Structure 1
Amino acid sequence: MAISAPSSTPIPLKWVGPLRITSTALGGTEEISVPLATYETPLWPSVGRGARVSTLVEGGIRAVVVDERMSRSILLEADDAATAFAAWQRIDGSREELQSVVSTTSRFARLIDLHVQIVGDLLFVRFELTTGDASGHNMVTLAADRLMDHILATVPGVRYGSISGNYCIDKKPSAVNGILGRGKNVVTEILIPREIVERRLRTTAAGVEKLNVRKNLLGSLLAGSIRSANAHYANMLLGFYLATGQDAANIVEGSQGITRAEDRDGDLYFSCTLPNVIVGSVGNGKGLPEVEEALTRLGCREDRAPGENGRRLAVLAAASVLCGELSLLAAQTNPGELMRSHVVLERGAARGDQVQGESD
């Protein structure tokens, strides 16, 4: 089988903003634009409308990184269930020893937790590591490979099953990642005064709250969504991931998140919780000139302590999600607004017109 030389596929990209964001990951409050690469051209003015709202609110979007880790699970075969359980106890009691093994693979990798599941005579061990500014896929796989060798050499009665047992779980919908964590867990929130909700979003706080319950919560429940209640996180994450050199397939777990909207005496409290934002400011995909330019403009190539650039990038991604989610839900409270915007923007873009949309 022959593999052709690398080529490229052009994806339209625009910088949208600025967004006003307050976060310790940014060192305070910043106003900054973000890049979104997408074929869905209405996404830019939609996110832009949310960004404009953020600049009209004191402090803008407030973002908190509540956890960060990357996981890889190995699969071991045991002689029987009793042997698998004994191996579990042995592994769990050897965490300091396991960390010593991890430290030989990278100066940034650190084992922070492990979890085990037994199915018959099979043992699934999920290792969770911090990985500095990298998203960490390769880092945790290398660490898991060395940990596997160590376990096979020191724990009796177990054999190699697979370097990845899907209890990680990578690029597939699941409940476990939202519970245990995989990537950066970022919460973004904003409190929008009534006047801005009505004038800029052309809706009411009560309308957004009602739609969020009916669409994002009840609709997602009926659809059988897994730990996910949102309108379109995947759109903003994919655009941001492609523009900044991320592994785009990670929007599968990244888009599993929860939108909350509450009417507070006419003001709108709005939040987006994204437990699996998998991004890195270094690593594979970051050598392309366009990606380097994007990361530099975002301030994610500065000389900082390990992990700080990665957390900054995750906050910017999550804030972009909030802007797009807010704008879409506001549009969907009004009959016909969403479709009118798409028709005007997409047909106008096809003609090369300068069109105005939801961002105004």
Structure 2
Amino acid sequence: MARILIVTWDGGGNVPPMLGIGAELRDRGHDVRVLGHPQQRATVEGNGLMFAPYVHALPWTPERIGSGLAFLISSLRLFTDPRPAEDVRAALRHRPAELVLVDCMSLAALRAAVRSGLPTVVLVHVFHSFLTSAWARGPIGALATLRGMRPGPLWAAADRVLVASDRELNPAGVGPLPTNVRYIGLVQGRNIRQAAPPNPAVLVSMSTMDCPGQAAALQAVIDALADLPVRAVATTGGAVDPAALTVPANVDVHRCLPHDDVMPEVSLVVGHGGHSSTMRALAHGLPLLVLPLFAKGDQPAVGAAVATAGAGLMLPPTAPPARIRDAIRTLLSDGPHRAAAISIGTRLRTQDGASAAAAEIEAVLTTRADELRKRRGQEEPSSGG
């Protein structure tokens, strides 16, 4: 079996699919180690994987980013920081690996992995069309290019680019997919099932990152729920203090709850359009009300995909409580939105992204090993008679 180095960063929805793939590789007998921000140790080790912290990379705290401008500046610093490359090199010196699996947005780490000559696989945890257009061609891609880390050529240099998303929901990109891109489907828990709640109930889940206007949007949703005959649970992550919210009797607020435990008991999810949480809700067959918090991120594209598929509605994050309340009433009914979400969920629950990713990674390892053996055979001198 192979030694595999996984390189990630402390975001939100990018982490679960990477750790799910890591766990699948470990269960197949591979030696898996995860390199990430120091505060990720408990999460990584809690998933039964070995962990190594960044030493050279700039510190990053997703819970306290600030305004829209501060959010952009923090993102630019995170994704164009060249220092993670040294962490990758140091990790490979300390414990050599046969393959590197890298987050698609960790550009310096990806460049170091490609330059190492090792088989390199990229994990995409957002819509592929968003990554290669708005993200790669926006401010992050422009600054990365100036720093010698142009995203497109780096992804093209990888042996595989694995997209942990649903191809039918992903908006169509321009032209055919690159030959190294594979859709693997969702990486999800084993207890995903069709929600069948006995009573109207709502889950409100905003970003674990400190997105602009998040506290105000969360309060508006809670205010909208106050006058409805439903029970609701809201999770704030580390970005919003529950004590800072005005909460009615029919709403319970928590910093964190396992969504796969809560979703089977609710009828609707209200969220920010994060790819991971949205796909998880759809996998449970739940319609969504999406309020995209970060206009420059993938959240508007995710919300639009949900609305286009007929599985939910999208409102601006500044929508007043009355408008949010009307949307919740519509989505709680047994209408076309619920039927569409149930249909999508039936499809998504057949996907096993972790297993598909592991199979692709093992195929890369086999191909590279065969190429090495062939090259060595060609270099060996023929014996004389």
Fold shared, TM-score > 0.5 on shorter chain = no
Highest RCO, 1 vs 2 (Cα 8 Å, sep ≥ 6): 1
- Identify, as 1 or 2, the structure richer in strand: 1
TM (norm. structure 2) is 0.27
TM (norm. structure 1) is 0.28
